[in-house]
Every structure is written in C-alpha cells, then in structure tokens.
Amino acid sequence: MNQGGKKPRVLTILGATGTIGVSTLDVVARHPDRFEVFALTGATQVERMVEQCRTHRPRFAVMSEPAAAATLRARIAEEGLPVTVLEGAAALTEVATAPEIDTLMAAIVGAAGLPATLAAARAGKRILLANKETLVVSGQLFMDAVAASGAELLPIDSEHNAIFQALPRDFDGDFQRVGVKALWLTASGGPFRTLSAEAIAAATPAQAVAHPNWVMGRKISVDSASLMNKGLEVIEARWLFNARPDQIKVVVHPQSIVHSMVEYADGSVIAQMGTPDMRTPIAYALGFPERIDAGVSALELMGKQLTFEAPDTARFPCLQLAFDALAAGGNAAAVLNAANEVAVARFLDGAVPFNAIAASIAHALDTLAGGPADTLDDLLDADRQARGVAGAYLEARA
C-alpha cells in the first residue's frame, strides 16, 4: 500500500548516469511507495545504466550515443531485463513527454538537454531542473512555455533550491508585493579561491576538478573553479525568480553551509543551510510540498565558523562575463554557454590553459552577441556559431 493511498509519481530521469541522476535514484530508492521510474537516459556509461536498469526496472532506457545504445541493448537482452532500449535525441524527447509520466528530472549537462526539457515544459510536466543551461540558453522561451502549459518548475541547483525555500510559498515573481529586496547566491569559491592570478592561469585539469566541498562531474567542477558556474546561476536566477540583474548578488562562502539567502525590505535575511549534499534539494523537489527523507547526514554547526567575502572578478572574469551576457540580452547567454562548453572541454583535454576559457568566451561574445533569441532554432543557431567561433579561437591559441 503506498503512503496515504496516493498514486506514486512517475519519473523520467534525463542524465541518470551522472552525479545528479545517481543521487536522484538514491532518494527514489528510499521511497518505493512514492515514486515509479518510467525511463532513464544516459550518454556512454553502459555499465552504470545496466546496473540502474537492474535495480529500478524502468520501462525505457535511452542512450544518446548509438554505439552505447547497441551495447546496452545487448546487455539488457543478456540479462533478460524487461527494458526497451532507445537511442538519440528524439528518444530523449519521447521519454520526457510521454503521457505516462508526471515528473521529469532534467539533469543532462550542457545544452544537449535543452530540446527535451523544453518539450516537457510544453507538455505541462512537473520539471525538476538540474540542467541550468536550459534557462541560460532559452530563458524567456522556456519560461513562456511553462506559463502557457501550466507546467510546474522546481529548481535543483542547491542555490536556487535554497532561494525557493526561503521565498514565501505564494511568491509569483513580484518582488515588491512580498517585500523581497535581493537574492544572494553563495559560491564556495572553488579550488582556486586563494590562488594568485598567475597560479590560476597555470592550473591543471586535475587541480580544477578537485572541488573542496561538493562531489560533481568534471565539467561543472571546472565551471566552479572559474566561477562560471556562479555566472550561469545568476542568469538562471533571473529567469526562475523574475529578478532584475541588480537584484541578484553573489557572495563567496567557502564552507558551503549557507546555500543561498533572500534579503527582505525590512532588513531580514532568510538563509537555507544544510550539509553540502545534492540529495537535499533533490528530495525537497521530489517530495514538494512535503519534505521527505534524503539520507543526508545532519548539519553539525558546533565548532564551525561561517565566513563570507566578495568575489574577485579580476581573477575570475567568467562571473563578470555572465553578468555582461545577461545585460546584453538576445542570444548572448546562449553564446556564453556554448563557448564555455567548448573551452572547458579543450581545457580538460589538456589542449589549452585555464585562462583561455574566459578569453575564448569574451571573444565569442564580442563576435556574436546581439543576435535574435525568439525561437529554439535561433538559440540552437547561436549555440552552433559560438562553438565554431570559440573552437577556432582556441585552435589559434594552441
């Protein structure tokens, strides 16, 4: 008998084999009466997908890479699992919009998750948004789709989830009505917080992915090291909460205990705190409006010191580039995101130095920003052009 006689929520998890997907399935497994897994998707991690299919028995498993799908199909057949294997971008959209599901965890890293997540918004699903690039690239388009269909949007990023928790339950995007003055996004500062500009420029991929507080994928770890992750979150917050750029503040908080704050007109500042574990925001969104067990250890504050400092945009120019893209509007945020994805991949491959990331993004913005962003085709075209411009710039530097 499921809890309270309620029907379980039926989930598709885009990016099931990544860190957010794994954490989501951990929470789901703690509440078998509340959740049913309809589909899991991945890119290349066949062994992990086989294990997840074995444990969670989804109806569908999707691999975006055809070769990985073929291997998975053979493994699923070997084990006799009742799972249908699909492949490619169209299959992602199919399982994200299936009439059987009510909830989508959107956790594919990068712009690759955008079309399926946008389709789910148009289909009126409850969307647990861990893919920040969806709002960075297509903010107005995506929010318009949510409003038109009546979809429900719940943020998974720890910072936006914290703000969501600290806002009034009836918040509708009107700061003045509820007395909100500013949103404060906290940043850990990443592994390079105390390094000189020279040391940051010479940093290696191994140093960049060694985050001091959070367990994350390689790409998002590099974004944290450059503070681009925070810049992307600023753009995301603008759309999630209908905030003007001047109403979004960033503060470096190395302990990652305060996950973000809301400042009110009466002088109150409401902060959400917790152990740095992504299962907390995942569980909050999965169970919303109820709170459910996430398997997270209790926050121990005794003996802890909490410190806060201003971000240094001279050593970490990616943060300012994100504010610049937000101010520019149009296709600028899509250009910023695509150029960053290309540069981070080249850096992780050892092809370019760390400081080439910001330089290539600035070059792409100077070259392409100002184009239209009215349709998904406009945004995908900006993404494609920015990848070409950034790639050519980095090739010339190599």
Domain ranges of the chain: 3-155, 156-310, 329-398
pLDDT of amino acid 211: 74
Q: What percent of the chain has pLDDT over 70?
A: 98
Fold that domain 329-398 belongs to in CATH: Rna Polymerase Sigma Factor; Chain: A (1.10.1740)
| Mean pLDDT to the nearest integer, 103-112 | 89
In this model, does residue 227 exceed pLDDT 70?
Answer: yes
What does pLDDT average to over the chain?
94
Please report the pLDDT score of residue 228 as a whole number: 96
Tell me the pLDDT band of 3, cut-offs 50, 70 and 90.
low
Residue 352 has pLDDT above 90, yes or no: yes
Q: What is the mean pLDDT of residues 231-260?
A: 96
Q: How far is CA 228 from CA 199, 212, 272, 358, in A?
A: 18, 17, 22, 9
Q: What CATH number belongs to 3-155? A: 3.40.50.720
Is it true that 3-155 and 329-398 share their CATH fold? no
State pLDDT tens for residues 171-224: 999 999 999 999 999 999 999 999 999 999 999 999 998 877 666 778 889 999
- The pair phi, psi for residue 261, each rounded to 5°, is -145, 155
CA–CA separation, 91 vs 286, rounded Å?
A: 24
Higher pLDDT, 115 or 282: 282
